[in-house]
C-alpha cells in the first residue's frame, strides 16, 4: 500500500478509493496505536454533512471497536469543534470524516491527538504501518470489545467554547453567513444570533449532496451579491468542515486570509497579546502581508503550504497567530487548529468595535496581483524531477526578476499542480502562468 496520509489526513473518492474496508482498517490501526497509553482508548468522532459520512463513520467505528476502543460520536460538527472537545470529554484521540472544501464525491479522515492537534508525521507513519498489518492485529472479545457512544451535548459545548472567546455583544451588526451546506450550518448562525447580531444565512440546508456546491469559501459570488443586496456590514463564508473562513466587505469585495491576518495581528499587538510580535504564514501569502506587518513592527515567518506546517512553526516559535491565504487561521489562544467560526467571530467583533467599515480596515494591506491556476496532473510526483519544467520555471523567474515571484507546487490532497505567479503586471502574470500550466499539463497530465 502506498503512502496514505497527505498534508490534511487521508482523502479519496468515497466508496471507491476511500472504501469502508479501508476505513475499518484505519479504525483498527488507530485504536491499536492508542492502547500503549490506555488499554481501553476513548476516541471522539465527528463528520461534515456529505452523504458518505454515515458509511465511512460506521466503518471506522467498527474497526476501532474491534480493537477495543470506545468511540464517542459527536455527529455533524466543525473539525475545530471536535478538536476542542477531545480534552474536554477526556478523549485519547479524535477522528473527523471530511474532505473540507472538496466536492461531495470525495471524503477523508483526519486524526487528532488527545490535545486536539493534528498528529505528528511519525505517529501517522506508525499508523500507516499498522494499517498494512490490520488483519493481524489483536482482536479482543467479550467485555474487552469497544462500544459506540453518542454525545448529544457536542454542539452546545463547542458553542460555549466560542462564546468564551467572544469580547462582547454584536448588537447592531448585520452579517450574512454562507455555511456551504456544511458542518457549520447550525452552530455558526446560533453563535451570531446569541451574540445579538442581525443574521442572514445562505447555504445552510444540507441534503448530503450539496456541500460546497456553488457556495462556501470556494464560491463567494452568492455571498457577495447577498451582502450588497441586504446592505450588510460584512459576509462570512465557511468551507465544508468549517476550519477556514473568508470574508466579504460591505461593498462586496473579498477579504482573504492574508488581509484577516494583517488585521488580527495589529489588533492583538495593540492589546499586548501578539507574542514576540510574530505571525506565521505560508509561501502562498501575498508580499503585501509582509509589507503591512513590517510597517507595524511585526515579523512574518513563512512555511511550506499546509496548516500543519504553519502550526508546527507556531508551536516552535511560541507564536499565537498564523494561517493561510485560503482562510485557515490559527489562534492558539483559543484553539489547536484552523477554526473558521472563531475567525468569523473575531473579524465581526473587530468590525463592530471599529469606527471604520471592513473595506477601509482591509485596505491597510496592499496586495500585489496574484495569478493562481490548478493544473490536473496524474503524475504530479514527477514535478521536481522534470528538467523541462524546471528550466521553464528558471527562465520565467528571470523574466519577472525582482518584480515578482513564481511558486509551483503539488497539492497535498488532490491530483493537481498549483502554479502561482505574483507581480505588479497582471497581463504578464497571465502569460507566465499560462505558459507554465500548458507545459505541466503536457508533461504530467
| Type and span of the H or E element at 255 | strand 254-255
Q: Has 93 been annotated as catalytic?
A: no
Rounded to whole angstroms, the Cα distance separating 288 from 369 reads 10
Residue-by-residue DSSP string for 373-438:
EEEE-TTGGGTTT-HHHHHHHHHHHHHHGGG-EEEEEE-SSSSEEEEEEE-S-HHHHHHHHHHHHH
Q: Which residue has the cell 457512544?
A: 149
Q: Which residue has the cell 478523549?
A: 91
Please report the beta strands in 219-264, taking only residues with DSSP state E, as ranges in sequence order. Answer: 234-238, 245-248, 254-255
Q: Which three cell numbers stand for residue 35?
A: 492502547
Dihedral of alpha carbons 317, 406, 402, 246, sign: negative
For the purposes of burial, counting CB atoms within 10 Å of the CB of 164, is it exposed (0-12), middle (13-18) or buried (19 or more)? Answer: exposed
Residue-by-residue DSSP string for 37-66:
T-SS-EEEEEE-S-TTHHHHHHHHHHHHHH
Cα angle at 271 between 269 and 273, to 5 degrees? 65
Residue among 162, 49, 80, 115 nearest 339 (CA): 80
As a whole number of Å, the end-to-end CA separation of the chain is 23
| Type and span of the H or E element at 309 | helix 307-317
Given 100, 113, 217, 285, which residue is catalytic?
100
Phi and psi, residue 14, nearest 5°:
-65, 135
87 CB-side CA count, 13 A: 11
Active site residues: 100
Amino acid at each position: 500500500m502506498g503512502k496514505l496520509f497527505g498534508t490534511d489526513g487521508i482523502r479519496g473518492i468515497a466508496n471507491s478509493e476511500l472504501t469502508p474496508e479501508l476505513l475499518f482498517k484505519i479504525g483498527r490501526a488507530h485504536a491499536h496505536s492508542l492502547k500503549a497509553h490506555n488499554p481501553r482508548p476513548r476516541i471522539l468522532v465527528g463528520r461534515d454533512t456529505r452523504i458518505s459520512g454515515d458509511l465511512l463513520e460506521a466503518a471506522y467505528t467498527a474497526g476501532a471497536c474491534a480493537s477495543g476502543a470506545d468511540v464517542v460520536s459527536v455527529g455533524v460538527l466543525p473539525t475545530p469543534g471536535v478538536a476542542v472537545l477531545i480534552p474536554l470529554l477526556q478523549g485519547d484521540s479524535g477522528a473527523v470524516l471530511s474532505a473540507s472544501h472538496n466536492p461531495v464525491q470525495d471524503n477523508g479522515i483526519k486524526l487528532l491527538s488527545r490535545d486536539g492537534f493534528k498528529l505528528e508525521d511519525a505517529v501517522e507513519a506508525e499508523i500507516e504501518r499498522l494499517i498494512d498489518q490490520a488483519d493481524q492485529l489483536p482482536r479482543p472479545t467479550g467485555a474487552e470489545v469497544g462500544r459506540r457512544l453518542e454525545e448529544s451535548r457536542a454542539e452546545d459545548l463547542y458553542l460555549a467554547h466560542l462564546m468564551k472567546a467572544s469580547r462582547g455583544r454584536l448588537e447592531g451588526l448585520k452579517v450574512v453567513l454562507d455555511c456551504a451546506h456544511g458542518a457549520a450550518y447550525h452552530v455558526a448562525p446560533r453563535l451570531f444570533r446569541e451574540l445579538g447580531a442581525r443574521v442572514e444565512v445562505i447555504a445552510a440546508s444540507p441534503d448530503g449532496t450539496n456541500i460546497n456546491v456553488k457556495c462556501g469559501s470556494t464560491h463567494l459570488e452568492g455571498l457577495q451579491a447577498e451582502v450588497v443586496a441586504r446592505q450588510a456590514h460584512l459576509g462570512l463564508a465557511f468551507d465544508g468542515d468549517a476550519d477556514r473562513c473568508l470574508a466579504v466587505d460591505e461593498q462586496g469585495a473579498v477579504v482573504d486570509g492574508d488581509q484577516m491576518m494583517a488585521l488580527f495581528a495589529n489588533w492583538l499587538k495593540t492589546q499586548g497579546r501578539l507574542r514576540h510580535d510574530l505571525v506565521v504564514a505560508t509561501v502562498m501569502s501575498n508580499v503585501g502581508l509582509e509589507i503591512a506587518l513590517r510597517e507595524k513592527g511585526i515579523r512574518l515567518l513563512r512555511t511550506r503550504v499546509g496548516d500543519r506546517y504553519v502550526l508546527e512553526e507556531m508551536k516552535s516559535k511560541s507564536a499565537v497567530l498564523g494561517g493561510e491565504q485560503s482562510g485557515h487561521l490559527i489562534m492558539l489562544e483559543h484553539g489547536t487548529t484552523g477554526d473558521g467560526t472563531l475567525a468569523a467571530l473575531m473579524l465581526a467583533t473587530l468590525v463592530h468595535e471599529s469606527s471604520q467599515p471592513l473595506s477601509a480596515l482591509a485596505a491597510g494591506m496592499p496586495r500585489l496581483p496574484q495569478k493562481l491556476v490548478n493544473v490536473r496532473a496524474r503524475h504530479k510526483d514527477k514535478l521536481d524531477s522534470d528538467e523541462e519544467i524546471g528550466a521553464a520555471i528558471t527562465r520565467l523567474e528571470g523574466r519577472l526578476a525582482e518584480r515578482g515571484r513564481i511558486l509551483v507546487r503539488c497539492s497535498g490532497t488532490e491530483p493537481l499542480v498549483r502554479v502561482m505567479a505574483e507581480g505588479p503586471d497582471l497581463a504578464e502574470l497571465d502569460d507566465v502562468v499560462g505558459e507554465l500550466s500548458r507545459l505541466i499539463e503536457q508533461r504530467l497530465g
